[in-house]
């Protein structure tokens, strides 16, 4: 390993020769950096024609040279650099820590419509690529080639499983209670308040349980995914993963999607039970229905078709929430404000897409007679 340098008029020539593995010669580093502070130097040329093996210690030295040269307004050139080093240097210098505030340009009405259309089309293409890469990662997991740490899956599973039981139970209980109150107002008119039990049982198991769990998990877990991955983007951890050749889809997105998709149907079953329990509280305490009679009507109203429809909704909601959270986290900006925006967008998009998915699924099931 040799690092030679010489000064030719106003040019500092640096020659990298041999292997640069665990380069820690501080004396040479200091001499080299001192030369860049020479006022006579206006250009630095780094020649890597004879470079053989190298590691990140060489990159650290080159980046330090670049920063010092930029500080002293010295032009820097690279001669015969390997393509992989050039790409890493380009990636390291691509991060703009102080981006300029973009000035909003006012366009004519027709042009603004075209610009909005192009922006929507680009967003759709970007989102589709993300979804496609995610399903490719799921394929990698199935064939055993995914770069996913099991411990990350366990962390994600812990966050969206038993830690969410409390809030899901409370909200679902209150929803069942409110549903029973609303139903009782009309059913009392016909003296049919006993059918509150059937109303709550069918409503919670078929759709309401899944929707309430979806909204709760969108605000709790989807926002968490966006904030966590967005913070990694700000801290350049995602850039580090890309530099090491690790798929962000396998490493970050896959464990979160798997965890939420597995747990949300289980939370929906819990929500169904708590909603029916909330309805029973109203029926027994407020409507003077005996507990045995209420449970009899509830059980009679339950059927496997409604139960499975609710679980299918929950499964779709889990995929939507995890995709939205991870998508906005990975595409987050480079500052704290961007993390906040990504979190908000993840929650709003999750809820909107859940409503759209509910409408589509309901229409399909209605046509099929399910």
Residue pLDDT, tens place only, 14-58:
877 777 777 766 777 777 777 777 667 778 888 787 777 877 777
Residue pLDDT, tens place only, 257-306:
999 999 999 999 999 999 999 988 888 888 878 888 888 888 888 888 88
C-beta neighbour count of 355 within 10 angstroms: 13
Tokens in use for 304?
């496997």
Per-residue DSSP letter, 74: -
**Among candidates 98, 73, 76, which has minimal Cα distance to 89?**
76
Q: Quote the mean pLDDT of the chain.
A: 84
CA-CA-CA-CA torsion for 147, 150, 156, 157, nearest 10 degrees? Answer: 130
Judging by beta carbons within 10 Å of its beta carbon (0-12, 13-18, 19+), is residue 321 exposed, middle or buried?
A: buried
Predicted structure pTM score: 0.71
C-beta neighbour count of 20 within 10 angstroms: 21
Where are the domains positioned within the chain? Answer: 2-93, 150-368
**The pLDDT value given to residue 267:** 94
Q: How far is CA 4 from CA 1, 37, 127, 183, in A?
A: 10, 17, 49, 86
Q: Give the mean model confidence (pLDDT) for residues 172-178.
A: 92
The dotted CATH code for 2-93 is: 3.30.750.24
Which residue is associated with the tokens 């102080």?
A: 98
**The pLDDT value given to residue 216:** 93
Q: Residue 50: helix, strand or coil by DSSP?
A: strand
- The DSSP secondary structure of 204-269, one letter per residue, reads IIIIIHHHHHHHHHIIIIIHHHHHHHHHHHHTTHHHHHHHTT--HIIIIIHHHHHHHHHHHHHHHH
């Amino acid at each position: 390993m040799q690092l030679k340098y010489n000064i030719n008029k106003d040019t500092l020539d640096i020659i990298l020769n041999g292997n640069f593995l665990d380069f820690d010669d501080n004396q040479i580093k200091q001499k080299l950096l001192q030369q860049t502070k020479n006022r006579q130097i206006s250009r630095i040329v780094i020649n890597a024609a004879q470079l053989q093996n190298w590691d990140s210690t060489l990159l650290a030295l080159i980046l330090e040279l670049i920063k010092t040269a930029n500080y002293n307004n010295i032009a820097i050139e690279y001669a015969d650099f390997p393509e992989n080093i050039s790409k890493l240097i380009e990636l390291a210098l691509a991060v703009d820590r102080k981006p300029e505030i973009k000035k909003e340009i006012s366009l004519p009405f027709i042009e603004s419509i075209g610009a909005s259309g192009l922006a929507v089309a680009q967003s759709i293409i970007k989102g589709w690529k993300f979804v496609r890469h995610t399903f490719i990662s799921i394929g990698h997991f199935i064939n055993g080639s995914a770069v996913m740490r099991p411990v990350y899956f366990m962390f994600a599973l812990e966050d969206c499983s038993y830690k969410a039981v409390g809030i899901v139970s409370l909200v679902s209980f209150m929803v069942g209670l409110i549903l029973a109150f609303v139903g009782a107002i009309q059913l009392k008119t016909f003296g049919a308040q006993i059918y509150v039990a059937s109303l709550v049982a069918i409503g919670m198991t078929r759709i309401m349980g899944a929707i309430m769990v979806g909204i709760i998990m969108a605000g709790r877990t989807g926002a968490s995914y966006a904030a966590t991955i967005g913070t990694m983007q700000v801290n350049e951890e995602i850039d580090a993963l890309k530099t090491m050749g690790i798929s962000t889809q396998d490493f970050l997105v896959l464990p979160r999607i798997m965890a939420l998709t597995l747990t949300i149907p289980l939370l929906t079953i819990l929500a169904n039970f708590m909603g029916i329990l909330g309805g029973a509280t109203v029926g027994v305490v407020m409507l003077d229905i005996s507990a045995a009679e209420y449970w009899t009507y509830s059980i009679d109203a339950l059927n496997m078709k409604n139960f499975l429809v609710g679980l299918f909704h929950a499964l779709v909601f889990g995929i939507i929430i995890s995709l939205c959270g991870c998508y906005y986290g990975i595409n987050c900006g480079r500052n704290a404000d961007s993390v906040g925006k990504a979190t908000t967008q993840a929650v709003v998009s999750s809820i909107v897409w859940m409503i759209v998915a509910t409408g589509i699924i309901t229409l399909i099931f209605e046509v099929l007679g399910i």
